Amino acid sequence: MRKFLWSFFEIVETVTVAIVAVFLIRTFVAQPFLVSGSSMEPTFRDGNYLLIDELAYRFREPGRGEVIVFRYPGDHRSFYIKRVIGMPGERVVIERDAVTVYLSDQTTKVLHEPYIDTLKGTFGRFEATLGADEYFVMGDNRGFSFDSRSWGPITRADIIGLVRFRLWPAQTAAIFSAPLY
């Protein structure tokens, strides 16, 4: 009987450690995310399974071009995936199929965006000036993306984490980093 109880205790201990480890990792380090919709095509497609790094932004601020997951400002129960285009204190201007960012030091940067389909582009005219804690985000599929052009900038507090890996489908598994502008 003693041997049975000891074995039972070891099983309970192992299961408890595993549950606590999974909880801590999912809460503070990384979590899975399933892409729903076409707003990030061609970079991410509907049904892609991603791994989100929740730890990186505890030590640094989000960077331009990084793909992030965040809480939708209109309903914090919904999560969105978009690309950071404008940073705090900047002005973002969209016109003539180009995205121009007016940096806080009065220089301008026209974004070269290799991740969007050049045939679809970024059409229309839009302008936004960001506050000290605001980020302008857009989907890569500009014609079919519900993003900062529709509901305004997001705040730093809304951001959950940085997309690091595409895990599924297996044939398109990849590691992601921000493009160089």
Q: How confident is the model at residue 158 (pLDDT cuts 50, 70, 90)?
A: very high
Higher-scoring residue by pLDDT: 17, 41? 41
Domain ranges of the chain: 2-175
Architecture, CATH, for domain 2-175:
Ribbon (2.10)
Active-site residue, from 82, 120, 145, 150: 82
3, 36, 39, 104: the catalytic one is 39
Joined together, the tokens standing for residue 157 give 């507090």
pLDDT tens by residue, 100-155: 888 867 787 877 887 787 666 677 788 888 989 999 999 888 888 888 888 889 99
pLDDT at 26: 58
In 3D, which of 140, 142, 144 has the Cα closest to residue 126? 142
pTM over 0.85: no
Q: What is the pLDDT of residues 52-86, one digit of tens each?
A: 888 888 889 999 989 999 988 878 788 889 999 99
Active site residue 39: yes
120 annotated active-site: no
